[in-house]
Chain A
Amino acid sequence: DAGVIQSPRHEVTEMGQEVTLRCKPISGHNSLFWYRQTMMRGLELLIYFNNNVPIDDSGMPEDRFSAKMPNASFSTLKIQPSEPRDSAVYFCASSLGGNTIYFGEGSWLTVV
């Protein structure tokens, strides 16, 4: 079975550019999570959705970050404008309700 699919796997962009990260959750899962991982802060939860509705976005760092889930099989995390301090690995994960959460392989973002 396909797991959580993220794209792009790697992105290098210039400061000020818009970045869009994409995620396809596991089919049938109704909860979706976006995490960010840096050396300094470890794995942080940015936002999660339940049945396509954002439930907790308290981890979103600032207004430059936005996330959407237009349907059950697709989500985006957008950074506009991007800054060098946004360089990190961004993970998408999904679950069926409160059951086990499964992670994608991550999107490695470098902002120069």
Chain B
Amino acid sequence: DAKTTQPTSMDCAEGRAANLPCNHSTISGNEYVYWYRQIHSQGPQYIIHGLKNNETNEMASLIITEDRKSSTLILPHATLRDTAVYYCIVRTQGAQKLVFGQGTRLTINP
């Protein structure tokens, strides 16, 4: 699976959109981009995933560039409860396991 690069930490004001970038320049055509987050003392929580097209669900939006070498996770109206470590993971289609990197520690400030 392709490696990902994320900033170590980010801050965002409560109520604003949080935009978390991820670089995956070596991604292959059959590799998906997955996002998970881990709130302190809890297990990793699935957020969203995509292949080529932008995706949106009740939690977030995922914007993937046309060349697929980078993506952005958007939390449209961040709340204090969104403070967590966010992991961007590239996973081969049909592959079973997930390999986690270090993620981005997002802090939402009041």
Interface string of B81-110 (1 = CB under 8 A from A): 000000000000111111111100000000
Interface string of A35-74 (1 = CB under 8 A from B): 1000000111100101000011000000000000000000
| A48 lies within 8 A of B96 (CB) | yes
Question: Is the C-beta of A31 less than 8 angstroms from some C-beta in chain B?
Answer: yes
* Interface residue total, chain A, C-beta cutoff 8 A: 24
Which residues of chain A in 6-59 are interfacial with respect to chain B, using CB atoms and an 8 Å cutoff?
31, 33, 35, 42-45, 48, 50, 55-56
Question: Is the C-beta of B44 less than 8 angstroms from some C-beta in chain A?
Answer: yes
Docked pose: A95 CA to B97 CA in angstroms: 10
CB contacts (< 8 Å) of B68 on chain A: these are: none
CB contacts (< 8 Å) of B46 on chain A: these are: 100-102
CB distance from B94 to the nearest CB of A (A): 4
Do most interface residues of chain B lie in helix, strand or loop, or is the interface mixed? loop
CB contacts (< 8 Å) of A50 on chain B: these are: 96
Docked pose: A60 CA to B42 CA in angstroms: 22
Question: Is the C-beta of B45 less than 8 angstroms from some C-beta in chain A?
Answer: yes
Contact of A91 among B43, B49, B94, B101 (CB under 8 A): B43
| B44 lies within 8 A of A55 (CB) | no
With contact pairs A98-B93, A100-B49 given, residues A106 and B43 touching in the complex (Cβ less than 8 Å) = yes
Q: Which residue on chain B has the smallest CB distance to residue A33? A: B97
CB distance from A11 to the nearest CB of B (A): 15
Q: Which residue on chain A has the smallest CB distance to residue B44? A: A103
Docked pose: A43 CA to B45 CA in angstroms: 13
Interface string of B16-47 (1 = CB under 8 A from A): 00000000000000000000000000111110
| A105 lies within 8 A of B101 (CB) | no
| B96 lies within 8 A of A104 (CB) | no
Docked pose: A33 CA to B100 CA in angstroms: 13
Residues of A within 8 A of B (CB): 4, 31, 33, 35, 42-45, 48, 50, 55-56, 91, 93, 95, 97-98, 100-106
Residues of B within 8 A of A (CB): 42-46, 49, 93-102
